[in-house]
């Protein structure tokens, strides 16, 4: 049963938001510390794309070591920039390889894909698609971006710490992460030492400098900075998720019942709940690991741990596996935080470019809700080899098989939506269509990993890397590229170049498969995912070593293709073909605003919704699309608009 929404007029904070800024805002308030959801969405988008590019540069550097182990890097300027400690004789040090791997995963997921999918697309589009003037809590929205930005700076700052950045993997498994690059004393002891010697530190300037170099000395290690950065990033996600959930539930415009919401909004709503419920355990775990590193506690350090031939002097009694449980309780819902917004974007683009309603809209909505619920009871399939026991293994095997069902329903509904459609093969549609088989490959290759017996062979091999990247790279990233090409005209008033877009699409499709498909072959051969030399020292990996060069050259070619996108993006920003308010002839509310949308979004006041989000090709209509905000009676022929039951 549909629930009648509260209109934006009844929400004092958001309704008055557009009326409170008649005076011209300063540059800082308008573009830097803005509370406008559209500006914040753009800030998230630009920052996340920058982090994505940087994270991809890290892995392109790693790929040289995997393709040509023990051979000096050919780019002398990069060798000089990285320094002799990281690149002795131009050859990558194993510790630096670990740092690149850990930071690549962290940056791409927590600083790139999630902020782009949720922070950028969610912030910009959700209020527009529900007919709201802004997010429910504009200042909280601004805070979420700046907390994210600070977290990103802290993460990048870890590269400049003594010993380099975090090198315990993007999962930061204990006890390794607890003892990595340890400080000489606890934070408390360092502060006591500082204040004890305060009188001998000279003037105010000397005391201030010594506070950071001496009193806070234990903070300046890569792993500690990683943990501090994660606390900021998680806090940002929590602020954003509360805002998204409240906005969707409270600020829907008149007539926009839940079953009239675009599927993209549903995907953001479920994602908001996943972030809100799954991130707090990891934030608590991050603080606990910080306490282990800085405060002398032993939440994740067991009794009798020997490091470097000496017994570790801690109280003991902790559990290293506790970190894994807390981490994966977040990290598996995190997979659906990545994929649900992608599905929402693809659904919007497929409906628009097939000129017909989505097939099985309600089944997609219920599947997304079930997917969100089930994502909390599958986390331990990442831990089959930790000795949990056959009974627990059987439970998580079962839940893992069950959770594949709603994903298949959504994917099948999207494929069936193509049947009988008048398909327009523009650039957004090409990326959206490519998402379907790429995500399917990622999902299908994950099923063997969800079975404890098969996982014995495949765990921690390159097969796992291939599976995950098919979900995230040609899967989620293709959907995000599709969304950028699709909504670029609404954000900027200009269309991106189709020819450059097609070059970007085909190059990305070919080279991404060139990177990730060989990983399945290497994984089935038993090649471990964490080999600094790519398997050169493994006898049983010798017959698949040649694939490392194939993957590396594909990665470098993929990097070149992304410059086509960058050129297209900035060229179109200033010289692209101008677009009208609804260039794709779409039905949802964001296309009913002026282009680009002004402050407050809807100058004539909140729109009223009369129908579902995908009324395309309605029989008897002169246009093949019926916008949600057009009245029931057609002004041209007097017929009542068809309201699809989906």
- Which structural domain range is residue 429 located in? 331-579
Q: Look up tokens 């910080």; give the residue.
A: 290
pLDDT computed for residue 378 by the predictor = 95
pLDDT range class, residue 75, cuts 50, 70, 90: confident
Q: Above 80 in pLDDT, residue 266?
A: yes
What is 584-604 written as a DSSP string?
Answer: T---SGGGGS-SS--TTS-TT
In a domain, 530, yes or no: yes
In a domain, 144, yes or no: no
Look up residue 553 and give its two tokens. Answer: 């050259």
596 and 523, same structural domain?
no
Q: What is the pLDDT of residues 525-545, one digit of tens each?
A: 999 998 999 999 888 899 999
Residue at a domain's end among 561, 579, 597: 579
604 and 521, same structural domain?
no
What is 153-171 written as a DSSP string?
Answer: HHHHHGGGSTT-B--STTT
pLDDT computed for residue 193 by the predictor = 66
Stated as kind and residue range, the H or E segment containing 570 is: helix 546-575
pLDDT range class, residue 557, cuts 50, 70, 90: very high
pLDDT computed for residue 513 by the predictor = 97
607 and 571, same structural domain?
no
pLDDT range class, residue 18, cuts 50, 70, 90: very low
Instruction: Please tell me the total number of residues recorded for the chain in this structure.
Output: 646
Count: domains in the chain: 2
d(CA 363, CA 409): 7
525 and 604, same structural domain?
no
In a domain, 462, yes or no: yes
Q: Above 50 in pLDDT, residue 24?
A: yes
636 and 542, same structural domain?
no
549 and 601, same structural domain?
no
In a domain, 371, yes or no: yes
492 and 354, same structural domain?
yes
pLDDT range class, residue 3, cuts 50, 70, 90: very low
Give the range among 124-128, 151-155, 206-210, 530-534 with minimum mean pLDDT. Answer: 206-210
351 and 453, same structural domain?
yes
Q: Above 70 in pLDDT, residue 636?
A: no
Look at residues 598, 541, 638 and name the one whose alpha carbon lies nearest to residue 22. Answer: 598
Count of Cβ atoms closer than 10 Å to residue 38 Cβ: 22
Q: Above 60 in pLDDT, residue 13?
A: no
Q: Which residue has the higher pLDDT, 190 or 596?
A: 596
In degrees and rounded to multiples of 5, residue 530 shows phi and psi of: -120, 45
Q: What is the pLDDT of residues 51-63, one digit of tens each?
A: 999 999 999 999 9
Per DSSP bridges, beta strands 306-307 and 310-311 are: antiparallel
CB 301 within 8 A of CB 314: yes
510 and 622, same structural domain?
no
d(CA 37, CA 123): 6
Look up residue 20 and give its two tokens. Answer: 């409170």
pLDDT range class, residue 188, cuts 50, 70, 90: confident
pLDDT computed for residue 185 by the predictor = 67
571 and 531, same structural domain?
yes
Q: What is the pLDDT of residues 313-350, one digit of tens each?
A: 887 789 999 999 999 999 999 999 999 999 999 999 99
CB 504 within 8 A of CB 560: no
In a domain, 591, yes or no: yes
In a domain, 642, yes or no: yes
| Percent of the chain with pLDDT strictly greater than 70 | 91
Q: What is the pLDDT of residues 398-448, one digit of tens each?
A: 999 999 999 999 999 999 999 988 899 999 999 999 999 999 999 999 999
In a domain, 63, yes or no: no
In this prediction, residues 140-166 reach a mean pLDDT of 94
């Amino acid at each position: 049963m549909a629930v009648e929404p509260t209109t934006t007029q009844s929400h004092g904070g958001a309704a008055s938001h557009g009326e409170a800024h008649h005076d011209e805002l300063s540059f800082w308030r308008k573009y830097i510390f803005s509370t406008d959801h559209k500006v914040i969405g753009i800030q998230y988008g630009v920052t996340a794309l920058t982090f994505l590019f940087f994270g991809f540069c890290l892995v392109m550097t790693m790929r040289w070591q995997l393709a040509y182990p023990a051979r000096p890097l050919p780019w002398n300027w990069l060798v000089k920039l990285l320094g002799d400690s990281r690149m002795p004789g131009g050859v990558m040090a194993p510790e630096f390889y670990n740092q690149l791997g850990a930071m690549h995963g962290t940056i791409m997921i927590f600083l790139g894909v999630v902020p782009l999918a949720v922070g950028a697309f969610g912030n910009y589009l959700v209020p527009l698609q529900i007919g709201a003037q802004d997010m429910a809590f504009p200042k909280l929205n601004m805070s979420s971006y700046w907390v994210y930005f600070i977290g990103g700076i802290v993460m990048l700052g870890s590269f400049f710490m003594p010993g380099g950045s975090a090198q315990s993997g993007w999962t930061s498994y204990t006890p390794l992460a607890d003892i990595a690059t340890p400080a000489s004393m606890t934070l408390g002891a360092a502060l006591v030492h500082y204040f004890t010697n305060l009188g001998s530190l000279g003037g105010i300037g000397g005391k201030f400098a010594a506070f950071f170099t001496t009193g806070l000395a234990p903070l300046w290690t890569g792993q500690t900075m990683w943990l501090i950065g994660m606390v900021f990033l998680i806090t940002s996600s929590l602020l954003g998720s509360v805002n998204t959930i409240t906005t969707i539930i409270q600020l829907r415009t008149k007539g926009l019942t839940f079953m009239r919401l675009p599927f993209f909004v549903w995907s953001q709503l479920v994602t908001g709940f996943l972030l809100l419920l799954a991130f707090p355990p990891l934030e608590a775990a991050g603080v606990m690991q910080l306490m282990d590193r800085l405060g002398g506690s032993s939440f994740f350090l067991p009794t009798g741990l020997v490091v470097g031939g000496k017994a570790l002097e801690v109280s003991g009694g902790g559990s290293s596996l506790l970190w894994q449980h807390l981490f994966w309780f977040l990290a598996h819902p995190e997979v659906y935080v990545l994929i649900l917004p992608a599905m929402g974007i693809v659904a919007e683009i497929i409906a628009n470019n097939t000129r017909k309603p989505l097939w099985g809209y309600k089944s997609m909505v219920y599947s997304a809700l079930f997917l969100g619920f089930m994502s909390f009871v599958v986390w331990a399939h990442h831990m089959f080899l930790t000795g949990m026991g056959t009974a627990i293994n059987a439970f998580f095997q079962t839940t893992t098989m069950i959770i594949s069902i709603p994903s298949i329903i959504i994917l099948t509904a999207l494929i069936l939506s193509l049947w009988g459609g008048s398909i327009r093969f523009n650039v957004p549609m090409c990326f959206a269509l490519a998402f379907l088989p790429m995500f399917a490959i990622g999902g299908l290759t994950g099923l063997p990993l969800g079975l404890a017996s098969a996982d014995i062979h495949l765990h921690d091999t390159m097969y796992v890397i291939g599976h995950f990247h098919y979900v995230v790279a040609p899967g989620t990233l293709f959907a995000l590229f599709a969304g950028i090409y699709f909504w670029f005209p609404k954000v900027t008033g200009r269309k991106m170049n189709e020819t450059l877009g097609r070059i970007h699409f085909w190059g990305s499709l070919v080279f991404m498969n060139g990177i990730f498909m060989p990983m399945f072959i290497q994984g089935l051969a038993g090649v471990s995912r964490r080999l600094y030399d790519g398997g050169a020292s493994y006898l049983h990996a010798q017959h698949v070593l040649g694939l490392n060069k194939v993957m590396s050259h594909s990665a470098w070619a993929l990097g070149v293709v992304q410059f086509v996108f960058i050129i297209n993006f900035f060229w179109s920003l200033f010289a692209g073909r101008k677009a009208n308010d609804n260039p794709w002839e779409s039905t949802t509310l964001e296309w009913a605003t002026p282009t680009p949308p002004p402050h407050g979004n809807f100058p004539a006041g909140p729109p009223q919704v009369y129908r579902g989000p995908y009324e395309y090709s309605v029989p008897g209509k002169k246009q093949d699309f019926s916008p949600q905000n057009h009245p029931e009676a057609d002004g041209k022929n007097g017929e009542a608009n068809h309201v699809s039951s989906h």
